[in-house]
Each structure stands twice: as structure tokens, then as C-alpha cells.
């Protein structure tokens, strides 16, 4: 008989839940130990009381929160547990985005947002439900659960069926849970029947057999994706942060060794408990090894795959920025010099903006501190990042803030033209036309202490006049415009969404392999590429421009090499040429444009980071 396994990732994520939950789980475990005959009698009694339970649960079901009313269908049942409720709401938005092929909703953004309660288990349940979605749909279709209960949304049914068959079960009971429990026997029978028909031992094997061959080969060839984090050098040095993190890793390793010894002394039960606690710890397996500095980008740290840093104090304080390696490449490609004025054309949410600000400050500090010592104290212990910064770095940062503050006061008093008078003060003009995104940009600027350098503004970059007096000193431009986001398919885990599999099925057997969805995507990419070309051409008009970085998180030639080819004549007329920002990097542009060997690409499956494209134009 095929076995149905409970998934470790969800079990680990829920280790931190409250004691009543643990008590429920223990009670369920105790029930499983009852004789088979007693279990059958109990199930029969439960079946007879299901209608009364459903009515009672409906009467006392919690009302929907106002903040979720727009996303969740009115008068529809919600999951009683906050974790399952959040997971089902995330699933609802993800499936809607996949069906309409609209961007903006990602698994991480929906499950790890600041307002989410119990982020880790919510994220785990959402991911595992998506992984099992084809099987869950087949199981639910066999028992016609959704047809029987019109108030049970599909997203809630998927999450609750996953919890019942593969997860932790139900922590709380509402009408949705009661409806699913009423069909528990049929759901389990349908699952076993599907496994037997496929001739596979478990759900994982069933799902693997259902994958399309190209998708399966692509995932098998994918290299691991480490966790990357950028050190915000506006607040601390790389040496300080690395020293602290390595000290923490050593402490965690020692604790794990002690727990392992204690578990071995306690026998098999203690060892199993220790393994569950270790798996549930932040970072997962191998996290205690500690980070290393990236070989290409000196302010980027590389952690073990699966390392969870969202709740780490350094992240909360804005000292560590959770940013992929590829996303950190454009700011380094700009190579901003001391005192430069830089324009970030499409700045929100602000990771690249604040990165450029940090590099500008570091360039100024390097010049001011020429000949003086700096760095961590070299003790190898934990570093107090607030009190142990070296004096030279503090004085330089203070001088930079004072210069920027003086320049802003002068500009406010004398008007826009005066802002170009202070060329020694580094500055980043950060533009975004969306007011909500601008607020996020402003929040990130404040959190990273970049306010002395970055000037966020709500404006459409294409409507700006590059020849205006306030932009007379602009020497650097970083342009990372709206794009298809096709390079972030792995980090966003888009391969779990139905659209990835459906696109392959729709294209099979049709002329050119193009489905209606693919045609719509091609049209969207074409519109984006036209905007991208217009933005680059506009950015070339800054009169003092020395270096322009064009980047996308796309893998499409139309948004990358084709855009470069379209703007090359205008760049040459403006006195700029393509240059190689990373000579040591191995992956280059597609050979469809002159100078392709100077363009930089990253592959989301082969390079362990998001798919990115970077082109740099420099004045000759």
C-alpha cells in the first residue's frame, strides 16, 4: 500500500506554535494508536454528527477582516487557523495572477510581508500546497467536494486538503474545516487510488511523473541558489558584519553539537526530536557554516541555501539587505566616483538606489581616509555595530551628511538652479511615478540611513528635462525599468504555479508552438521593450553623463540585446560606448548585437542567482 508522508518543511516551520497546538497534535497521535475497530466506530459517530458540527461552526465562524475583503469572495468560508487563512489568501491571489498572466504577486511578497503573522509556517504551507496542487485537484475532483459546498472557495479547499493529507491537520475548526473533515475517508481513499493507478509509492513520485519533460530536465539541471545579502556600508563595514555573523554561527554550531549529544544520550526519541529542532532552526541544514564574501561583489555575503534571515536583527536594523547577487551587480557596474550626482530613473523599492548611495559614501570615505587605518577591531568576537565603528568612517559619514544637508538647504532657499553648485556633495535623484511605491522607497531610504544622499521624488522619468540646471552635475545614471521579470522565475518559484505547466501544454502541437497566452506575453514584452528603449534614449540626454547602466531582471532578448542594438546609434552620437563592467564574469550577451561580448548576463538555472542583464555605456 502506498504511503502518504507528512512533509518535514511544514512540520519544522510549525515547531514554534503554541502549546494548545502541540496538545492537539498529541491528541491526534494518541487517537491513531487506538485499535482499528474503535477507530471505525468513532468515524461512524463523527459522520453522523457532521451536519450539526457544520451548522454550529458556521454560526460562530469568524468574520472576514476588512483588510482582506477585496481579495476574498464575500460570504465565502475562511480557514479558521490564521496560518491556513493567510496561506489560502496568498494562494487565491497567486492563482488569479497565474490565470490572468499579471505580475505583482509572488509567493514571498504575499507570505513574508510585514503584516503576516507566523511568516515561516505560512510560507511553508503555501509552498507545499502549490507543490501538491495537481494532486490536490485530482483528489478533490474525485470526491466533488467543491460542488457539494458552494461556500468553500477552491483556495481554502486546496490548503485544508493539503493540511489533512500531508500536513499537521487542523489546529482550529470552522465550517470549512468541518466540510473537509466530513470527506476525510473519501479523500484518503481517492489519494491511495491515484497512487496505485500511477504505480508510485508516494505523492512525490506521483508529482514527478506528472511533470513535463522539459520542465523536469530544467529543474534537475538547476544549481542550488544560495541566500545572498548585501552589507549596508552606510551603517557598518563588511568586516564588522562578517565577524558578528561568524561568531553567531560558531555559537549555533556549538549548541547543535550539545543538542546532538543530548539526543544521543536520550536514545532514538531524543535524536528524532533534535533533528526536528535543527531542521526548524533559522537557516535550515548547514546554516551554522556561516557566510562568506562573494568572489565578484565585495559587499555581498553568501549564505547556505535556505538560510532564513528575515527576522535577523541585522536585517531588521537595515545593516543587512536581502538582495540577490544579480540585483547587486548594476550598482557596482556604475562604479560611482566621489562627489558624483546620480539619477536612478525607476527607483522603487530602492535596493539599487541605496546601494548606489552606499558606494558613493564609500568612495568619498576612501578618499577622505587615504592613509589612515580602518576596519573591524580584529578580535574575532561579536561586534557592537553601534559603538565600534572606526572613527575615520564616522567622521567621513558625518561630513557627507553635513554636505548634503547644506546643499539641500541652499537648494530650498535659492531654487532648483542652486542645487548644481555643490559638486563635491554626492547625491542620488531617485524617481518613481507611483505614490505607493514612492512611500516604500522613502521607507527603505530611511531604514538604510541613506537620507543624506538620496532625494526621493514622485515623477515620471520620461517627463523630466535632463538639461535642467539641477541635473547639470549628473554623471551617472542607473536605469532598471519595468520588465517582464522572467529572470526571477526561480526565486519567485513561478515554476510551482499552474501557468508554467499550462504554457508547455498549450504550445504543444500548434504552429510555431505559440498559444494564446504566449502571444499575449509576447505582446506585453514588446510593449515593455518599447518603453525601455525610450527610457535609455532619454537617459542619454544628461549633458554631463559619464556612465549609464541599463539592467533588467529579464532573460528575453527583446528586452536586453535588442534594446541595446536600438539605442547604440544614439549612444555613439552622444559620445558613449559599451564597456565591460565585470571582466571576470563568465556569461555574456547573446551574439545578436555588436559588442555582445561586453554585455553581462546571469542565468537563473546555472548561476545560482536571478536571471539578469547588464549593459554599461561610458563616455569615450
Supply 250's cell numbers. 560558531
DSSP for residue 588? B
Residues 6+ positions from 464 with CB-CB distance below 8 Å: 431, 471, 538
Catalytic pick from 79, 328, 346, 553?
553
How far apart, in Å, are the Cα atoms of 320 and each of 7, 245, 317? 31, 11, 8
Separation between Cα atoms, residue 323 and residue 128, nearest integer Å: 24
Neighbours of 502 (CB within 10 A): 15
Separation between Cα atoms, residue 159 and residue 174, nearest integer Å: 14
Query: Of 602, 620, 607, 600, which is closest to residue 333 (Cα–Cα)?
Result: 600
Supply 273's cell numbers. 526530536
Do residues 198 and 208 lie in contact, with contact meaning Cβ atoms separated by under 8 Å? Answer: no
Residues 6+ positions from 77 with CB-CB distance below 8 Å: 58, 61, 149, 151, 152, 153, 156, 174, 175, 176, 179
Separation between Cα atoms, residue 553 and residue 612, nearest integer Å: 4
Q: Which long-range contacts (CB under 8 A, 24 or more apart) does 432-440 make?
A: 432/346, 432/347, 432/348, 432/456, 432/458, 432/459, 433/458, 433/459, 433/460, 433/461, 434/348, 434/458, 437/348, 437/349, 438/348, 440/348, 440/349, 440/350
Separation between Cα atoms, residue 4 and residue 180, nearest integer Å: 18
3-state secondary structure 96-141: HHHHHCCCCCCHHHHHCCCCCCCHHHHHHHHHHHHHCHHHHHHHHH
106-123 b/e with 16+ CB inside 10 Å = b? bbbebbbeeebebbbbbb
How far apart, in Å, are the Cα atoms of 463 and each of 41, 427, 431, 434, 455? 74, 20, 11, 14, 17
Altogether, the residues listed in the chain come to a count of 620
Active site residue 328: no
Separation between Cα atoms, residue 472 and residue 341, nearest integer Å: 9
Do residues 35 and 226 lie in contact, with contact meaning Cβ atoms separated by under 8 Å? Answer: no
Strand arrangement of the beta sheet that strand 320-321 belongs to: 292-293, 300-303, 227-231, 320-321
Separation between Cα atoms, residue 470 and residue 86, nearest integer Å: 47
Strands (E), 340-383: 341-344
The helix-helix angle for 133-143 and 203-210 (nearest 10°) equals 100
The helix-helix angle for 351-368 and 435-447 (nearest 10°) equals 30
Helix (H) or strand (E) holding 614: strand 612-619
SS3 486: helix
Separation between Cα atoms, residue 569 and residue 217, nearest integer Å: 40
**Enzyme catalytic residues:** 553
Amino acid at each position: 500500500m502506498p504511503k502518504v508522508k507528512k512533509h518535514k518543511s511544514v512540520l519544522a516551520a510549525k515547531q514554534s506554535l503554541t502549546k494548545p497546538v502541540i496538545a492537539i497534535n498529541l491528541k491526534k497521535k494518541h487517537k491513531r494508536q487506538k485499535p482499528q475497530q474503535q477507530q471505525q466506530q468513532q468515524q461512524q459517530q463523527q459522520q453522523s454528527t457532521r451536519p450539526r458540527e457544520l451548522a454550529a461552526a458556521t454560526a460562530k465562524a469568524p468574520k472576514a477582516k476588512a483588510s482582506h475583503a477585496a481579495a476574498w469572495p464575500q460570504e465565502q468560508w475562511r480557514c479558521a487557523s490564521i496560518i491556513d487563512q493567510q496561506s489560502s489568501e496568498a494562494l487565491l491571489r497567486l492563482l488569479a495572477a497565474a490565470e490572468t498572466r499579471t505580475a505583482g504577486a509572488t509567493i514571498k511578497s504575499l507570505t513574508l510581508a510585514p503584516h503576516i503573522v507566523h511568516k515561516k509556517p505560512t510560507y511553508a504551507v503555501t509552498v507545499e500546497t502549490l507543490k501538491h496542487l495537481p494532486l490536490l485537484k485530482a483528489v478533490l475532483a474525485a470526491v466533488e467536494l467543491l460542488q457539494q459546498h458552494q461556500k468553500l472557495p477552491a483556495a481554502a479547499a486546496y490548503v485544508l486538503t493539503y493540511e489533512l493529507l500531508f500536513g499537521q491537520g487542523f489546529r482550529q475548526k470552522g465550517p470549512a474545516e468541518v466540510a473537509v473533515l466530513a470527506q476525510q475517508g473519501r479523500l484518503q481513499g481517492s489519494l491511495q487510488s491515484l497512487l496505485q493507478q500511477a504505480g508510485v509509492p508516494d505523492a512525490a513520485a506521483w508529482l514527478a511523473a506528472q511533470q513535463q519533460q522539459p520542465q523536469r530536465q530544467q529543474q534537475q539541471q538547476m544549481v542550488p541558489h544560495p541566500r545572498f545579502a548585501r552589507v549596508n556600508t552606510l551603517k557598518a563595514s563588511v568586516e564588522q558584519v562578517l565577524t558578528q555573523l561568524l561568531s553567531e554561527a560558531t555559537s549555533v554550531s556549538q549548541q547543535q553539537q550539545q543538542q546532538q549529544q543530548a539526543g544521543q544520550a536520550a536514545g532514538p526519541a531524543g535524536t528524532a526530536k533534535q533533528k526536528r529542532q535543527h531542521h526548524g532552526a533559522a537557516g535550515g541544514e548547514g546554516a551554522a557554516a556561516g557566510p562568506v564574501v562573494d568572489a565578484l561583489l565585495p559587499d555581498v555575503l553568501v549564505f547556505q541555501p535556505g538560510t532564513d534571515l528575515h527576522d535577523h536583527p541585522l536585517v531588521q536594523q537595515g545593516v543587512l539587505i536581502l538582495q540577490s547577487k544579480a540585483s547587486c551587480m548594476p550598482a557596482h557596474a556604475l562604479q560611482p566616483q566621489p562627489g558624483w550626482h546620480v539619477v536612478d530613473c525607476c527607483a522603487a523599492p530602492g535596493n539599487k538606489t541605496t546601494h548606489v548611495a552606499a558606494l558613493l559614501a564609500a568612495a568619498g570615505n576612501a578618499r577622505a581616509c587615504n592613509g589612515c587605518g580602518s576596519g573591524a577591531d580584529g578580535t574575532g568576537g561579536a561586534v557592537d555595530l553601534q559603538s565600534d565603528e572606526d572613527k575615520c568612517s564616522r567622521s567621513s559619514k558625518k561630513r557627507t551628511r553635513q554636505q548634503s544637508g547644506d546643499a539641500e538647504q541652499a537648494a530650498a532657499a535659492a531654487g532648483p538652479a542652486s542645487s548644481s553648485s555643490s559638486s563635491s556633495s554626492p547625491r542620488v535623484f531617485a524617481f518613481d511615478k507611483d505614490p505607493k511605491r514612492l512611500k516604500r522607497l522613502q521607507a527603505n531610504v530611511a531604514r538604510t540611513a541613506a537620507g543624506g544622499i538620496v532625494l526621493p521624488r514622485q515623477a515620471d522619468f520620461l517627463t523630466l528635462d535632463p538639461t535642467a540646471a539641477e541635473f547639470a552635475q549628473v554623471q551617472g545614471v542607473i536605469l532598471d525599468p519595468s520588465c517582464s521579470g522572467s529572470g526571477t522565475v526561480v526565486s519567485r518559484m513561478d515554476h510551482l504555479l499552474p501557468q508554467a505547466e499550462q504554457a508547455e501544454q498549450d504550445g504543444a502541437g500548434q504552429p510555431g508552438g505559440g498559444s494564446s497566452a504566449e502571444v499575449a506575453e509576447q505582446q506585453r514584452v514588446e510593449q515593455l521593450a518599447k518603453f525601455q528603449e525610450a527610457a535609455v534614449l532619454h537617459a542619454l540626454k544628461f549633458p554631463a553623463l559619464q556612465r549609464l547602466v541599463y539592467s533588467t531582471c529579464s532573460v528575453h532578448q527583446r528586452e536586453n540585446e535588442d534594446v541595446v542594438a536600438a539605442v547604440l546609434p544614439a549612444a555613439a552620437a552622444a559620445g558613449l560606448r559599451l564597456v565591460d563592467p565585470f571582466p571576470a564574469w563568465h556569461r555574456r550577451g547573446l551574439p545578436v548585437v555588436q559588442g555582445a561580448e561586453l554585455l553581462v548576463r546571469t542565468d537563473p538555472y546555472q548561476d545560482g542567482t536571478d536571471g539578469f542583464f547588464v549593459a554599461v555605456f561610458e563616455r569615450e
